[in-house]
Structure 1
Amino acid sequence: MTVNPEISYWHLWTGDDGATHQTRCELTSFAWQSMGGKAASQWNDHLLSGETNLLFSILPVGFNGDWHENPKPQWISVLSGRWFVESTDGTRVEMGLGDLAFGGDQNAKEDAQGRVGHKSGTVGDEPCSLMIVQLDPEKWAGAKPGAFK
C-alpha cells in the first residue's frame, strides 16, 4: 500500500468582502477499504452524504456565460472539452477532461464594475460536457477552501 493519495480541485469561494476567488485545494481523507460486499479494497474518500441533485450539462462551442453565482453549491467534473471560470479577483482557470471544481461562490456581492460571482464559458472548438452534483444549500452555500477535509 502506498501513501494516501490526493485529488486536486479548484475551489471557487466568496471572501468576507463579497469578492470571489479560486484556490487550488486537495481532497486528502482517503481510507484503504472495500466499497462493500466482496469488492477488493481501494482508496475511498467518503466526502459527504445526504440529498444531492445530479445533472449533466453541455456547453456549446462559443458559450460565454455572463457574471452570476452558482445556483447551488456544486461539484463540477469535466467529461469532455474545455471550459474556463473567472472570479471577480481576476483569476481565470481553464479546465479540461478529468478536472474537478467546486462552485461555492454563493453570497457574492456586486463589485464596482457590476460583476458578481463568476463568469464561465467554453474554450476551443468543441462543446464542453460537465457532470454536476448539487449539494444542500443550507449546509454548503458559501463553503470556504478546506471545508472538505
Structure 2
Amino acid sequence: MEPVSSTNSYPGENASAFAIVQLGNAYYNAAMELFKHASAPDPLSFAPARLCAIHAIELYLNAVLRHEGVAPSQIRGRMHNLADPTFFTRLKLRKKTADHLQALTERREYLIARYAPEQASQHTELNRLTATLVEVMMKAGHYVSNP
C-alpha cells in the first residue's frame, strides 16, 4: 500500500456527483438488508444498519454539494454535518426530515453507531431514520440527475 503524498489525489477526489449517488445507493441497499436481520430486543444489532443508513444519507448530501461545484476538500471538512440549510431549500425536504438531519448531527449519531455501544439508547427511532433515508435518497438522486 502506497502512503498518501501531496502528489496523489485524496480518495474520492475525482468522483462525480452521480458516482457518489451510486455509492450512496449501495449503502442504502446494505442498510435495508441489515435492518431485516437485526433483532428488536438487542439495540446493538441495529448499529451496522444505522451506520450504513447514516452514511448513505451523508453520501447523498455530499453528491448534492459536488453537483453544486463544492470542492471535495470542503466537503471532507464538514465532519459529518448533515444539517445545512442548502439541503433543505435545494432538495425541498420536509420539515420532519430537516429536523431529523439536525438531530442526527447534534447527537452525533454517526459516531455513536460506530464507536459508542453504551449510547445506543440515544439513537432516533428506526422509522424516522428510514423515512429520512428514503426521502434524501429520492430527492438527492433526482437533484443530481437533473441539471
Q: TM-score, normalised by structure 1?
A: 0.25
The structure number with the bigger radius of gyration is 1
**Comparing both structures, which one devotes a greater share of its residues to helix?**
2
**Comparing both structures, which one devotes a greater share of its residues to strand?**
1
